Amino acid sequence: MGIVLKYDLEYREKGEKKILSLSIDFVSNYCIREYAEISAAIATVKNSWQKISDLTTEITAAAIEQPEGYKQANAERKAQIEEYTKGILDYSDDKFLRRRFELIKLLLSDNGITDENFLSFDFWDRQVDPATANAFLDAAIYKDINKKKLQ
């Protein structure tokens, strides 16, 4: 076993902030591979959002400046935005969220967490902020990486 991660996970219960103290000492290769795939999907979505933002800025600038051919160029930009949007929507369905949850559930159960409440989709969907869930996954997956070697 590698490093033991002590992690205090913030969640809400009926509006009240609570902490779940977790101890993660085992992360399987499967979890690492699954996380890599999920991370790649997240990066794809972020990249698409950035491209949509850039295209929207270009559309606005062209509409103000009105260079020759701007209407056709903006129509092409809008078509690109539609394509990026369709790509984003591929990841926004319940299946993607459940895949992330199944990874979290596996990490918890592999590390001795047996409380069904904390192993439920409903808990992670309704009581844990998405950024908190992602931060927990990051910390757990990368717990054994020697940060000094990376610098």
10-residue averages of pLDDT along the chain (151 residues) = 90 97 96 93 91 97 96 97 91 80 97 97 95 94 70 45
Q: How far is residue 40's CA from residue 91's CA, in Å, rounded to a whole number?
A: 11
Determine if the pTM surpasses 0.85.
no
Which helix (H) or strand (E) segment holds residue 37: the answer is helix 29-65
What does the pLDDT read at residue 147?
53
